[in-house]
Chain A
Amino acid sequence: MKQQRTLIYFTSIIVMLCFNVSLNAQNDSIPEPTKVNDSLKFKDKYGLRVGVDIAKLARTFASDEYSGFEITADYRLKKNLYIAGEIGIEEKTDENSYLNITTQGTYIKAGIDYNMYENWLNMDNMIYSGFRLGLSSFNHTLNNFTTYSTNQYWAPQFSSNQAQEFDGLTAVWLEVIIGMKAELFNNFYLGLNVQLRGKVTDTEPDNFTNIYIPGFGKTFDSAGIGAGFGYSISYRIPLYKK
């Protein structure tokens, strides 16, 4: 059953792609109409698009353990090429039976987005893919901890409520991003993207580890891989048309 669905899933992708190609081909076969001055020539809007990540805002309101704010921006360089970046601040508390840690920090991400979606007429939507280089500066506060022991003959184990600071930590990572932006109404966009990250380097705190990196997200013991998603509302400040 599952396999069948997977099959339908892939078949529909292939069928859709084929359909598209054939239509393009059909368009090509239409003979060029005699050249007349086209008064209805649509120009692309160029400008700086600025927005906020509403997923982070929603999470800030929904969760006691998280607060974060991110500003996103992109600037159109060419028809399909944008320089893009994000800047943000995050605070997150991670807790399990043995550790309680608060992470605080800021981050900046910069890179490019490439639009792969061919707009029709004057539409201005994007389905894009791009990359980012991310930098984060942060600190951890170990609020409390309890020694881990598999043997509980002498329970409870040692625990400490004395807050311990791990300051001046940094991390660098690379990010691949795919997403879409749709113009809801004039110059207002709604965007959605997913990000896959690979850690390049980070400062390891002494006798501790980076549990969470602002901008990068949760870290894993085994691999320097992270993932995340963004949901943004943005406004393009139109500068010129081309």
Chain B
Amino acid sequence: MCIVKSMQNKMKYFKYIAMVVIALAICTTISCERDDICPESTPTTPRLIIDFYDVSIQENSKNVFGLVAVGVGNDNVLDGYAIVNTNNIILPLKTDSTATQYIIYKEYTYDDNDTPDDETDDVIGGNPDLITINYSTELVFVSRACGYKTIFNNVTISIEDDGDNWILSRESINDNQSVEDETATHFNLFH
């Protein structure tokens, strides 16, 4: 009698442990499938940071008024740079090319002649300057969730001479300037 009871109890114990083990196995498999989302705070592909300085007193930061930045070949104005007063600009670079061009307007004005639907009679005022940024790209592995980022080496900026440039000169912070992160300024432009 006692031995039968003991056996029944042991079988119960056995079943009970089996249940725990199964539960554990299920828990592990579910919890291990973590979402692989790249955190916003992870530094990935950096943008080019440019500061504006006064051409006459070169250590003085100087604001550009009515600045507009438009990428050449892009239909949209760069986000955050639609007529702003600023002493710096942050430009995203093309990762699938070794050159990126921007038209940067100073004192930009826009008049649609009271016909918002008709673009032909629109008058765009201000001083546009075309800058070309040349570089070589390098792929750097970040993490499983973020994959690869592109960093930019040997970055140079050239300002196209249009006879009426407002950007008068440029200066990289380092020789062989690279854009590896967004922690510091990469170029200074003088106006």
Bind each other: yes
**A contacts, CB < 8 Å to B:** 16, 19-20, 23, 26-27, 30, 94, 96, 98-99, 117-118, 120, 125, 127, 145-151, 153-154, 156-159, 178-180, 182, 192-194, 196, 207-209, 211, 217-221, 226-229
Do residues B79 and A192 form an inter-chain contact, with CB atoms below 8 A? no
Some 6 contacts from A to B, beta carbons below 8 A apart, are: A96-B144, A146-B147, A147-B148, A148-B148, A156-B96, A207-B140
Task: Give the residues in chain A near B44, CB-CB below 8 Å.
Answer: 148-150
Q: Are A153 and B79 in touch, CB under 8 angstroms?
A: yes
Q: Does B71 sit at the interface, judged by CB under 8 A?
A: yes
Assembly CA distance A149 to B91 (angstroms): 13
A182: chain B residues at CB < 8 Å are: 14, 18
Give the CA-CA distance A60 to B95 in the complex, in Å: 38
Contact of B21 (CB < 8 Å), options: A146, A193, A219: A193
B147 touches A178 (CB 8 A): no
Q: Which residue of A is nearest B7, CB measured?
A: A120
Query: Which residues from A are CB-within-8-Å of B18?
Result: 180, 182, 192
If over half of B's interface residues share one DSSP class (helix, strand or loop), that class is named, otherwise mixed; here it is mixed
B40 within 8 A of A: yes
Tell whether, in the assembled complex, residue A154 and residue B93 are in contact, meaning their CB atoms are under 8 Å apart. yes
Q: Complex formed: what's the CA distance from A227 to B27 in Å?
A: 10
- Chain B contact residue count (CB 8 A cutoff): 50
Chain B, 126-163, CB within 8 A of any chain A CB: 137, 139-150
Q: Are A221 and B21 in contact (CB under 8 A)?
A: no
Interface stretch, picked from B30-38, B52-60, B108-116, B168-176, is: B30-38
Residue on B with the closest CB to A19?
B9
Partner of B96 from A23, A94, A157, A227 at Cβ < 8 Å: A157
7 closest cross-chain pairs (CB), A and B: A98-B147, A229-B25, A149-B45, A158-B95, A158-B96, A227-B28, A151-B92
